[in-house]
Every structure is written in structure tokens, then in C-alpha cells.
């Protein structure tokens, strides 16, 4: 998908004053695979993982300081057509876990640190802790009926958010008019280079490649998605050429002689009409310092310096109130 897109550098100031949908699970995995100890496992406190909380506290308050209003979307129940993809991921994780345990047992900490992130899990407890953090920060979070980026994309196409921040190119297949990559890692260093946020506009992608959104979805199904492994021998370049020449997957199938996916129309509709809650997005609130301290310092051992940096950002964004002094903003 990246080869089809026109990628624009994003000035963070462009998003100031805007609501942006954020895919929680993808970001959580970024945090728990990068904020790790010498054994490659996520940073922890008294045996409890804290990397996810560190990451979300830092990035959420950074967004608020820059005038961006994040709306966090959690994945709901996956469609049954995704079960095979999820099973494959589980198998790879189990294989990595066995290799990690062997590395630990042999004392090869270099290998263990490399393998650790491949075993990372964002557990139900960690999900609930993340929701509690957002509550302490006064931020909005939404449980999607199915895919987080799908629900965010529908909200964006409805004008409820200005963009969807995700690393998953499926965001465009779900119809998000604007997708932002690297928003939550903007300004960070990785492999010696500074990461910068990027903006991709769906309309530009379609016009550049002279296809419709429906044809983009057919192209993706041929290449492979979470809901179907794709057609053997068809990659992005070949797929684009075929879909432009013949118009639809059915016609390409007739010409090239491959079998159509049994659930083709279901897969199409998962992208073109993804389920979403009809409730309006609620308003955010101000953070309460005492709640943040009790939660992060009291239960997870966060340093005073880390908390102070977050509180300073919240104060700069006028998003902080004391526990005992409600303001008009909170009513």
C-alpha cells in the first residue's frame, strides 16, 4: 500500500485544535516492544509491566501539549475471518517464547533481548490499566465493535475526527480520508534517525493510481489482508495493473483463472461498511493530579520526575485541575 500512496511530511501544528483517532493496540505494542529491559521483556515494577503506561502517558500528554485531542480506540471482537491470521501470530509468538526461554537458560542475554519483543503480550489487565490511565487524564476512549482502525476510519469519514493515527495501512481501506503515520513516535530516534509524522490522503492515492476505493479494496484482497491470505503470484504492481485493466476482482479471476475467495463480498463489506457505534464521541475532561499520582506512583512506582513532566504538559495545555477545585471546563 505504501508504494501506492503520496506521503506528505506532517507539521504537527497542522493538527492543533483537531481531534485525532488513535489505534490503541498498535501503539501499545510499539511501547511494550521498545521500552524493554536487558532480557527483552517490557519494563516492569514489582513484576507488573509498566511500559504501556509509560508510553501512553508520554505520548498522550505530548499530543495535548501540542493542541491535539486524541480519541483512543480499542479493538473489539475480531471477525471470524481473522481467526486464521490471529492463530498464525500466536504460533509465531509461541515459537519466539521457546527460543527466548532457551536464550535465558543459556545466559545469552544479547539473544534474549532480541527475542523478547517478539514474545510481547498486551494482556487484558494491561488493557484495563490503559483505560484507567485515560480516565485519570480525562481523555476519551472508545471500545470498537470490531477493528479499532476501522471504527476510527468511519468516524473520520463522518467528520467526527480530523484523521486516524495508525501504522496500519488498512486504515485507508476502511475509508479514512486522512491517515497519519508516526504521530505517537514523532521526534523520537530509531536506528540513528529521527522519526517524523507523515500524512496520507486517501483521495490523492485513488487519483494517483486511477482507481476507486472499491477497486483499492479488491486490490488489497488479491494481495492479502487480515481476512484473506491473497492470491498466489499477485503482488502490488501486478495487482494494480490487473485491477486498472479489468476493473474488478471477478473479471480478473475470469481472465487469470484463479478461484475467488468464498467470502469475497463479506470481506469487501468489512472494509467498505465497517461496523461502528452510533453514539457521539463524548467530550474530554481535565486531568486530576491526585488521581494520576495515586495510580501511577502509588501502584506502578512512577518517578516524580516522570509525573512532573506529564503534569507540566497538562498545565501548559490547560488540561489540569486539582482534586478539590472543579472548574467550568468540567461541567
Interatomic CA distance for residues 27 and 90, integer angstroms: 19
The predicted model gives 217-246 an average pLDDT of: 94
201-211 tens-digit pLDDT: 999 999 999 99
Residues in the chain: 331
Interatomic CA distance for residues 104 and 39, integer angstroms: 8
Bridge-based pairing of strands 189-190 and 178-181 is unpaired
How many other C-beta atoms can be found within 10 angstroms of the C-beta atom of residue 250? 12
The predicted model gives 247-263 an average pLDDT of: 93
143-185 tens-digit pLDDT: 999 999 999 999 999 999 999 999 999 999 999 999 999 998 8
pLDDT recorded at residue 326:
53
pLDDT recorded at residue 2:
77
Give percent of the chain with pLDDT exceeding 90. Answer: 86
The predicted model gives 245-269 an average pLDDT of: 94
Interatomic CA distance for residues 249 and 216, integer angstroms: 10
- As its CATH architecture, domain 210-272 has Orthogonal Bundle (1.10)
Q: Where are the domains of the chain?
A: 2-203, 210-272
CA distances from 84 to 69, 89, 197, 227, 290 (A): 35, 9, 32, 8, 45
32-65 tens-digit pLDDT: 999 999 999 899 999 999 999 999 999 999 999 9
Q: What is the pTM of this model?
A: 0.91
pLDDT recorded at residue 43:
92
Q: Is 240 within 8 Å of 209 (Cβ atoms)?
A: yes
71-90 tens-digit pLDDT: 999 999 999 999 999 999 99
pLDDT beyond 50 at 331: no
Interatomic CA distance for residues 108 and 171, integer angstroms: 39
The predicted model gives 103-119 an average pLDDT of: 91
Domain 2-203's class?
alpha beta
Mean pLDDT score across all residues of the chain: 93
pLDDT recorded at residue 226:
93
Residue 163 cell numbers, joined: 484523521
Q: Does this chain's domain 2-203 share its CATH topology with 210-272?
A: no
Residue 96 cell numbers, joined: 519466539
269-326 tens-digit pLDDT: 999 999 999 899 999 999 999 999 999 999 999 999 999 999 999 999 999 986 545 5
Amino acid at each position: 500500500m505504501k508504494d501506492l500512496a503520496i506521503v506528505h511530511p506532517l507539521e504537527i501544528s497542522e493538527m492543533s485544535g483537531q481531534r485525532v483517532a488513535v489505534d490503541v493496540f498498535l501503539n501499545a505494542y510499539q511501547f511494550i516492544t521498545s521500552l524493554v529491559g536487558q532480557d527483552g521483556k517490557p519494563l516492569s515494577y514489582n513484576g507488573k509491566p509498566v511500559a504501556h503506561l509509560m508510553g501512553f502517558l508520554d505520548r498522550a500528554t505530548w499530543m495535548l501539549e501540542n493542541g491535539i485531542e486524541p480519541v483512543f480506540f480499542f479493538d473489539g471482537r475480531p471477525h471470524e475471518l481473522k481467526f486464521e491470521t490471529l492463530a498464525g501470530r500466536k504460533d509465531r509468538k509461541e515459537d519466539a517464547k521457546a527460543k527466548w526461554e532457551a536464550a535465558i537458560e543459556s545466559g545469552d542475554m544479547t539473544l534474549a533481548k532480541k527475542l523478547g519483543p517478539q514474545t510481547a503480550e498486551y494482556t487484558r489487565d494491561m488493557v484495563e490499566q490503559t483505560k484507567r490511565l485515560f480516565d485519570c487524564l480525562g481523555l476519551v476512549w472508545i471500545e470498537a465493535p470490531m477493528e479499532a482502525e476501522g471504527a476510527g476510519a468511519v468516524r473520520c469519514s463522518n467528520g467526527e475526527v480530523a484523521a486516524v493515527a495508525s501504522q496500519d495501512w488498512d486504515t485507508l481501506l476502511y475509508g479514512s480520508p486522512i491517515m497519519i503515520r508516526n504521530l505517537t513516535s514523532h521526534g523520537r530516534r530509531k536506528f540513528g534517525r529521527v522519526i517524523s509524522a507523515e500524512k496520507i490522503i486517501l483521495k490523492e492515492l485513488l487519483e494517483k493510481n486511477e482507481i476507486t476505493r472499491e477497486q483499492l479494496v479488491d486490490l488489497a484482497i488479491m494481495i492479502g489482508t487480515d481476512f484473506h491470505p491473497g492470491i498466489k503470484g499477485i503482488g502490488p504492481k501486478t495487482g494494480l495493473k490487473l485491477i486498472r485493466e479489468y476493473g474488478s476482482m471477478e473479471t480478473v479471476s475470469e481472465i487469470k483463472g484463479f478461484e475467488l475467495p468464498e467470502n469475497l463480498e463479506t470481506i469487501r463489506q468489512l472494509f467498505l461498511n465497517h461496523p461502528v457505534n452510533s453514539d457521539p464521541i463524548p467530550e474530554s475532561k481535565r486531568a486530576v493530579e491526585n488521581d494520576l499520582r495515586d495510580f501511577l506512583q502509588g501502584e506502578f512506582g512512577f518517578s516524580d520526575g516522570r509525573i512532573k513532566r506529564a503534569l507540566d504538559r497538562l498545565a501548559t495545555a490547560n488540561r489540569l485541575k486539582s482534586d478539590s477545585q472543579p472548574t467550568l471546563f468540567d461541567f
